[in-house]
Structure 1
Amino acid sequence: MMKSTLFFLLLAAVGSSLYHVGQKSLHDVSANPMLLLSLYYVSALALCLAAMPFFGKTDFSSVGTLAADWRLWLVAAGILCIELGFLLAYQSGGSAQWSGVVVNGAAALLLVPLSLILFQESFSWNKIIGIAMTLTGIYFVVKK
């Protein structure tokens, strides 16, 4: 794996940690979940706009084309489901210690058939062993 890929994955891991600490710390806020999510997105928009100059020239003429692309809406629906799922899980007493592990493991398992069908990705015995380990890990994490 390339060093830049590892850095980006580390960035995602740090971001996920910040996300879960923030979400869990707001578990006692009794605001409408959609209001909280809207505030998250407005704040994230401000951060994105501030960081935009550091990622090269931005061509705003393509915004309409991008906004009409169904794949953008698929990602948006996924983001909403992730955010709402964790928000409600934490408000109902879910654990920050294991929630992310279970969700990411389950998502990885859901992505296996989708990746095979939609992206023609390869499959191997190593991946089967990884699936078995993921299922075993989820079992031990959620078992009381």
Structure 2
Amino acid sequence: MTRVLAQGTFDILHPGHVHYLSDAAARGDELYVIVARGANVTHKEPPVLPDRQRRDMVAALEVVDEARLGHESDIFVPVAEIDPDVIVLGYDQHHDEDAIAAALDDRGIDCEVARASPRDPAYEGELLSTGRIVDRILKRRGAE
């Protein structure tokens, strides 16, 4: 049985997230998802939605076997608990595959690190980014 792990912020769930998780699920038999805690999101604006709400939304997706919140201080704690065969990173996530592989090796976690495939918009105007969704809301509501 192949256990796959995906991770992300998943703020304002959109078709890009669904594609990422579907791509990850197709690579194995079980898909586990770690949803980043808002306090740990430092590479971009913090999430709009609360941690548990984002986790619950991801858990509701049919392709997801289990969704859990990330650890408060050590992102590798849930990775070690899940013990995946492969970690699938999002197509445009900021993570460095080699650095993650090295950190996994240092911790004795033996798994492959891969990237999800890209998803092009299915139609004009489709948004595949939480940031772009937020920007459009602000523009349409006149709150820029």
With structure 2 as the length reference, what TM-score do the two structures score?
A: 0.26
Which one has the largest radius of gyration?
A: 1
Structure (1/2) with the larger helix percentage: 1
Higher relative contact order (CA 8 A, sep 6+): 1
With structure 1 as the length reference, what TM-score do the two structures score?
A: 0.26
